[in-house]
Amino acid sequence: MYDPKKIRNIAIIAHIDHGKTTLLDSLLKQSNIFRDNEKIPERVMDSYDQERERGITIFAKHTCVYYKDFKINIIDTPGHADFSGEVERVLGMVNSVLLLIDAQEGPMPQTRFVLSQALKMGLRPILVLNKIDRPHAAPDRVLDLAFDLFLELGANDEQLDFSYIYASGFNGFAIEKLTDEPKDLSPLFELILTAAPPPPGNLELPFLMQAATLGYDDYTGRQATGRILEGKIRKGDPLVCVDRHGKQTTHRVTKLEGHLGLKKIEIEDAGAGDIVSLSGIPEVDIGDSLCAPENVVQLPPITLAEPTVSIEFVVNTSPFVGRDGKHVTMNKLRERLMREKRANISLKIEEVEGRDDAIRVCGRGELHLAVLIETMRREGYEMAISKPKVITKQVDGATHEPVERVHIEVPEEFSGTVIDDLSRRKGEMRSLATSEHGLTTMSFIVPTRGLMGYRNDFLTRTSGLGILTSIFESFVPWKGDIAGRLRGVMISNSPGKANGYGLFNLQERGALFVKPGDEVYEGMIVGEHARDNDIVVNATKAKQLTNIRAAGSDENIILTPPRKFTLEQAIDYIADDELVEVTPNFIRLRKTFLNEIDRKRNSR
């Protein structure tokens, strides 16, 4: 058991890609967690398959290292705005944060969000000016910008007097002054010991802890992880769990675990200030209070910011249902989503009034929801997904909608296009500057629904050279109509296999989404129409065979390769009367009603 004075609990927070997980690689390596010849993948804490594939952190993750005779619990956090719920949740567990800012890019939208959360929680951030090895790094200019941001976000005097250090997480060094000789990260370890306060808590008081995250152990079932606020706990100890309604249940600790490097290790006991995982309470939920029987208290609930976007998960009714996935029924979908709801509290899951074939899932953004859909796909689920909708609210009887602060960086030649695009989407420009390197930086306030469907276009229209990041800003009065997708689609009028001849005739009318041999069904979207209206087409039409014309002659036909959609792109692309059919191996676009009969049978 560790003396709380010898514990430091910190979270690493920053805008996406500012180097949190890489810095953690180096902190772990320099804490002798790994054997000398051990091969460590880059960004080792990004352990989920989707994290590795997308190159981003999605879930907050714990680790623990020892430096001198101190125990340092470290939580890596996601930097993408859609996963900001994770940041909010873990900040309650730590006593300080390392705020990383890329010394070339400077503060970005998510820097503002995570810093404002940390300041609101009363934490005193330690600023790490990271990536000082980058060619155009300007650490002291960024230090000034950071100071201004602290001021703007209302830091109190103590918080404003923040400690800072220069670093290159990738190269594994930190220096107090830019003139210092770079060596390793010990200056950062030292700063964590001196600038991060030890956790409060008295070992002699009765045990008290709040469940901040949930995990699952195959043997002991659900686990609650959190910081011990008071007292001590030992395996086998009795405790009382108080849920958000005040209901009390009595349990016994069946397993106690801490972290060491990448591993979870079983421990006999732990005390105030430490972050542990505790098993033995099968129904524990995030926010529940875990107390010693002699001192039962109910801690304030863990509340997160409201979701801004909703999507409907609909039963897959396409003719191909059940060919690819093993879970296709509404009960399966509902049971799975309810399970998700327990561990992923930044998601809200609700029934859709008057419908028994759909469930509404509300989250922080399209990526937040896409990650869940992708996870379920990989678990063998099939479903249809509706177009994301913003969640509005009534304020003084007027509809208000969410708007986002958008940060744009593009080569100067594209700035005009982007300004047009965002103005058409009800965006208001707040700042514009062009650097001596010909890079234009702009910020806008744009309705969340104005950004829907735009991220794809933005990349195409800036030839992939633009950076667009956004973060929820506030709710404002409804801004009126925003034109949706400008083009209509080509809808298949029959089931069958698409073939070269049929597609060849169609490609003059717009971009194709299917290739010869792909199976299509009536009502499936097989392409984008070059005009603004939908057209019904025949992608399976075969050429009339005559005794002169042989079957194989199709191979002379040149077809442009079909446009392939990722899950996010498909969700971004569809219109209100369309759905994305999602199965483990296929993503298809379709009309909500496959034909007139379907419309009459199901119209709501």
Ligand X SMILES: Nc1nc2c(ncn2[C@@H]2O[C@H](COP(=O)(O)OP(=O)(O)O)[C@@H](O)[C@H]2O)c(=O)[nH]1
- Give the per-residue contact string, 169-208, with ligand X (x = CB under 6 A; - = no): xx--------------------------------------
Phi and psi, residue 15, nearest 5° = -70, 160
Residue placing its CB nearer to ligand X in the complex, 199 or 466: 466
Report the distance separating Cα 520 and Cα 235, nearest Å. 58
To the nearest 10°, report the CA torsion of 199, 200, 205, 208.
Answer: -60
Instruction: Return the exposure string of 22-35: e unless at least 16 CB atoms fall within 10 Å of the residue's CB, then b.
Output: bbbbbbbbbbebee
Burial category of 215 from C-beta neighbours within 10 Å (exposed 0-12, middle 13-18, buried 19 and up): middle
Give which of Mg ion, ligand X, none residue 332 binds (C-beta under 5 to 8 Å, depending on kind). none
Nearer to Mg ion among residue 20 and residue 541 (C-beta): 20
- If the CB atoms of residues 45 and 337 are measured against ligand X, the closer one turns out to be 45
Distances (CA, A) of 402 to 127, 223, 393, 425, 447: 30, 35, 9, 14, 6
Tell which positions 443-462 bind ligand X, by CB under 6 A.
Answer: none
- 51 counts as binding ligand X under rule CB under 6 A: no
Which residue, 174 or 589, is less far from ligand X as judged by CB? 174
Which part of the chain contacts Mg ion (CB under 5 A), choosing from 15-23, 258-266, 351-359, 510-518?
15-23
Cβ atoms 544, 564 nearer than 8 A: no
Question: Shortest Cβ distance from residue 73 to ligand X (Å)?
Answer: 18
- Dump the DSSP string for 176-191: SSTTSPP--SHHHHHH
Alpha carbons within 13 A on the beta-carbon side of 571:
29
Q: Which stretch binds ligand X (CB under 6 A): 10-18, 227-235, 458-466, 498-506?
A: 10-18
As a whole number of angstroms, the distance between CA 15 and CA 252 comes to: 41
Alpha carbon of 310 to those of 339, 378, 564: distances in Å? 18, 22, 24
Considering the rule CB under 5 A, would residue 84 count as an interface residue with Mg ion? Answer: no
Binders of Mg ion in range 24-63 (CB under 5 A): 57
Q: How far apart are CA 32 and CA 209, in angstroms?
A: 30
By CB under 6 A, residue 469 contacts ligand X:
no
Instruction: Report in angstroms how near the CB of residue 19 gets to Mg ion at its nearest.
Output: 8
HSE value, Cβ hemisphere, 13 Å, CA-based, for 484: 14
Q: Is position 470 an interface residue for Mg ion (rule: CB under 5 A)?
A: no
Span of 126-134, 332-340, 446-454, 580-588 interacting with ligand X by CB under 6 A = 126-134
For the bound state, the minimum distance from the C-beta of residue 107 to ligand X, rounded and expressed in Å, comes to 14
61 near ligand X (CB under 6 A): no
Select 43 or 387, whichever has its Cβ closest to ligand X.
43
**Two structure tokens written together for 299:** 């801690």
Residue whose C-alpha is closest to residue 23's, from 101, 108, 81:
101
Residue located via tokens 């709501």: 604
Residue 107, interface with ligand X (CB under 6 A)?
no
Select 109 or 527, whichever has its Cβ closest to ligand X: 109
Number of residues that bind ligand X (CB under 6 A): 19
Q: Which is nearer to ligand X, 4 or 365 (CB)?
A: 365
Residues 17-46 that bind ligand X (CB under 6 A): 17-22, 43
**Smaller CB distance to ligand X: residue 101 or 361?**
101
Tell me how far apart the alpha carbons of residues 304 and 286 are, in angstroms, rounded to a whole number: 11
For residue 363, give the nearest of 341, 338, 384 by alpha carbon: 341
Q: Cβ closer to ligand X: 99 or 314? A: 99
- Binder of residue 213, out of Mg ion, ligand X, none (CB less than 5 to 8 A by kind): none
Is residue 277 part of the contact set for Mg ion (CB under 5 A)?
no
Residue 57 within binding range of ligand X, rule CB under 6 A: yes
- The tokens describing 505, both together, are 């005739």
Name the site residues for Mg ion (rule: CB under 5 A). Answer: 20-21, 57
Binding site for ligand X (CB under 6 A): 14, 16-22, 43, 56-57, 79, 130-131, 133-134, 168-170
